[in-house]
Amino acid sequence: MTLTGERSAQPVGARSMRQSPSWRHGGPAWGRWTHDVTSLPVLVGLLVLALVFQALNPNFLTADNLVNLTLQSAVTGVVTLGVVLVLLVGQIDLSVGAVSGLSAAVVAVGFVQQGWPLAVSVIAAVVLGAVVGAIYGWLYTRLGVPSFVITLAGLLVSLGLQIQVLGATGSVNLPYESWLVRFGQRTFLHPGVAYAAVAAVVLAYAASRVVERVRRSRAELPTASWGVIAGRSGLLAVLLLVPTWYLNTNRGIGASVALFLGLVAVTDFLLRRTRWGRSVRAVGSNPVSARKAGLPVARVYVTAFTACTALAALGGVLSVGRLAAANQGTGGSDLNLTAIAAAVIGGTSLFGGRGSAWSAVLGALVIHSIASGLTLLNLDASARYVVTGVVLGLAVTIDAVSRRGRVLVGT
């Protein structure tokens, strides 16, 4: 059995770390270390991008530009979060941009032209997205159709439905006084609320580390020292407080950004602390071993596809609020490529089983930092595509090399 197969079985108790010293290579401690190594190059790359663009244009790191950058990243990030879930189970969804555009059209047409309550339009759009993903999952698990083919067909169908829903005009504008537009454009967290949220996140993180230390200590497993826990909690506090303070010198943290970060936090908890999350990683690492370990492999695939397209639809809803309009260009192939690139650049493996919900945050920030920096330098879209492509190629190369290294270590 390969190393990946052994790791996928461990979370469900197929092998106790106390029965074998192999935890040093395949257990939770190794998983946390490799995740840190995966995230570190992304953080360093993001810092380098910021310094380079700031040197070329002093407006890049202004609070106003960073507020705009975070607002743009929120829409892409929500879609990217869904892509991360599908990549974690070793699959791909090429239709997220088209599903996002279709949901945006449903919201705009339902609310403006059909007279539906805005909340009903939003719910209908998200439910429609979830249904699309459930169909993908059913076709893949029951009929064995490759996800590449299924989602490519879904992309074409969604684009056609988007054009049909929008009708002859091809564009529908939302009233600026609607709550969705206000939420996307003009709603920001009160500074006190933002600082309280940061404090809650830091306390929750510290508490979770303490609980984990106690649990592992009782099981006679290696544990992090109290100093390490305090140091990491303090570093997290600094990393959250500094940008929060700086953004609050301008308009602050947008409501859509807060929603995105909340979704990431919930998804991260589900992936790390629930049986479903452990099953997602096990299936992505080795579906055969996961099935032998008794995991509901088919159900995991269906839920991953469903969550992916539901988040894509929610991204379309946020896009309508951000732009106050839906048209035939909403979503599309550009968002497809951007979301997939952001997930991979953020540290999610194309080979499945490795990644984090926070990959969506890092990847979206990198993608939009590149776009914002090049825009400030008055460079056109061609330069953005080239730079993003180079960064994506580097991320995939690093992923492939690190994966080959882990396999060689296992053999």
The answer to the question of residue 325 being in a domain is yes
Residues present in the chain in total: 411
Whole-angstrom Cα distance, residue 357 to residue 366?
15
Whole-angstrom Cα distance, residue 372 to residue 336?
19
Q: For the domain that residue 318 is a member of, what is the CATH number?
A: 1.10.3470
Q: How do residues 156-175 score in pLDDT, each as one tens digit? A: 999 999 999 999 888 999 99
Q: How far is CA 362 from CA 44, 347, 393, in A?
A: 11, 8, 16
Where are any strands of DSSP class E within 224-276?
Answer: none
Decide if pLDDT at 89 tops 90: yes
Count: domains in the chain: 1
The answer to the question of residue 29 being in a domain is yes
3-state DSSP assignment of residue 410:
helix
> Domain range for residue 66?
3-187+254-410
The answer to the question of residue 114 being in a domain is yes
3-state DSSP assignment of residue 147:
helix
Q: How do residues 41-80 score in pLDDT, each as one tens digit? A: 888 888 999 999 999 999 999 999 999 999 999 999 999 9
**Better pLDDT: 122 or 349:** 122
Residue 164 C-beta-side C-alpha neighbours within 13 Å: 6
Percent of the chain scored above 90 by pLDDT? Answer: 71
The answer to the question of residue 227 being in a domain is no
- Do 102 and 158 form a contact (C-beta atoms < 8 A)? yes
| Mean pLDDT of all residues belonging to the chain | 87
The answer to the question of residue 319 being in a domain is yes
Q: How do residues 6-51 score in pLDDT, each as one tens digit? A: 333 344 433 333 333 333 333 444 344 344 445 778 888 889 999 9
The separation between CA 375 and the C-alpha centre of its own chain, rounded to angstroms, equals: 24
Give me the pLDDT at residue 411, please: 52
Whole-angstrom Cα distance, residue 356 to residue 346?
9
The answer to the question of residue 197 being in a domain is no
Query: Residue 405 — very low, low, confident or very high, per pLDDT cuts 50/70/90?
Result: low
pTM of the model: 0.87
Q: How far is CA 104 from CA 72, 121, 239, 354, 389, in A?
A: 16, 10, 34, 31, 27
Nearest 5°: the CA angle 312, 314, 316 is: 75
The answer to the question of residue 366 being in a domain is yes
Give me the pLDDT at residue 404, please: 67
Give me the pLDDT at residue 11, please: 41
Decide if pLDDT at 248 tops 60: yes
The answer to the question of residue 192 being in a domain is no
Residue type, 305: F
- Do 117 and 297 form a contact (C-beta atoms < 8 A)? no
Whole-angstrom Cα distance, residue 81 to residue 180?
21
Whole-angstrom Cα distance, residue 251 to residue 190?
9
For the residues 358-366, what does the mean pLDDT come to? 93
Give me the pLDDT at residue 9, please: 39
